[in-house]
């Protein structure tokens, strides 16, 4: 009983010792930084540079293959070992993205897209597929005002794909369209840059939005909080 009481009293001290042993090192992101190769489930894992590594992934693919992660995530799901060494199935579309050779790829619009400009605010390009109904509307008006033609409504829809530019806000994890209005919203966090930006004419704000994205990242650099 006496030894049990001593052990109970020591529990908070032991727990405190374990917490003290986990240290966080802040690493400022630069263009030379390489993310650890692996699969990221969310933006928080990106911030800690703590992905699911190849060593935890169960696959028949060649682990030394340059396109290992791309091939792995072409499938609907893959299997990993969790912290307890148990097999866990993960749906490929549920992940945030992956890092390959130190370069980040984000899952957006049902595809994995490279993030060439990384920082507190990131910029990337992705395909956007949408349904275009303009052709049907044009046919309607052309035929309606022409007495010699007969209009027959069509249920057919044209699917188009085009490249779109996006912003990734690492502070919130949100992805938005790359527009001067969204840049303006982000700049509200920095009074000096915001006031400088809104003084510009609308045309200038559209033209200089990438410049102010870079200015913001320079003033508010991205830090990796890595455990060691």
Which region, left, alpha or beta, applies to residue 169 given φ > 0 means left and ψ of -120 to 50 means alpha? beta
For position 132, what pLDDT does the model report?
Answer: 72
Residue 76 has pLDDT above 90, yes or no: yes
In this prediction the pTM is: 0.77
Read off the pLDDT of residues 20-70 as tens digits, 9 standing for 90 and up.
566 888 999 999 999 999 999 999 999 999 999 999 999 999 999 988 999
Distance CA 102, CA 118 (A): 12
Q: How many residues does the chain have?
A: 228
DSSP 49: T
Ranges assigned E (strand) in 82-120: 87-91, 97-100, 103-108, 111-114
What is the full DSSP assignment across 160-226? EEEEEEEEEETTT--EEE--HHHHHHHHTTSHHHHHHHHTS-HHHHHHTHHHHHHHHHHHS--EEEE
CA dist 188 and 182 (Å) reads 10
């Amino acid at each position: 009983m006496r030894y049990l009481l001593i052990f109970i009293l020591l529990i908070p001290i032991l727990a405190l010792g374990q917490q003290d042993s986990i240290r966080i090192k802040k690493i400022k992101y630069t263009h030379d930084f390489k993310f650890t190769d692996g699969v990221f489930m969310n933006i928080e894992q990106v911030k800690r540079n703590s992905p699911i590594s190849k060593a935890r992934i169960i696959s028949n693919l060649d682990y030394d293959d340059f396109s290992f992660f791309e091939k792995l995530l072409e499938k609907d799901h893959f299997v990993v070992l969790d912290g307890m060494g148990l097999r866990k199935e993960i749906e490929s579309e549920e992940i945030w993205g992956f890092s390959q050779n130190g370069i980040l790829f984000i899952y957006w619009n049902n595809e994995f897209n490279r993030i060439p400009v990384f920082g507190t605010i990131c910029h990337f390009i992705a395909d956007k597929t949408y349904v275009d109904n303009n052709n049907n509307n044009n046919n309607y008006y052309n035929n309606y005002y022409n007495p010699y033609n007969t209009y027959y409504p069509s249920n057919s829809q044209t699917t188009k794909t085009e490249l779109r530019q996006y912003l990734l806000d690492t502070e919130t994890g949100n992805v938005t369209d790359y527009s001067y209005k969204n840049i303006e919203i982000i700049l509200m966090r920095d009074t000096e840059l915001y006031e400088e930006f809104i003084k510009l004419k609308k045309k200038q704000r559209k033209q200089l939005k990438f410049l102010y994205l870079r200015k913001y990242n320079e003033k508010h650099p991205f830090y990796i909080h890595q455990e060691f």
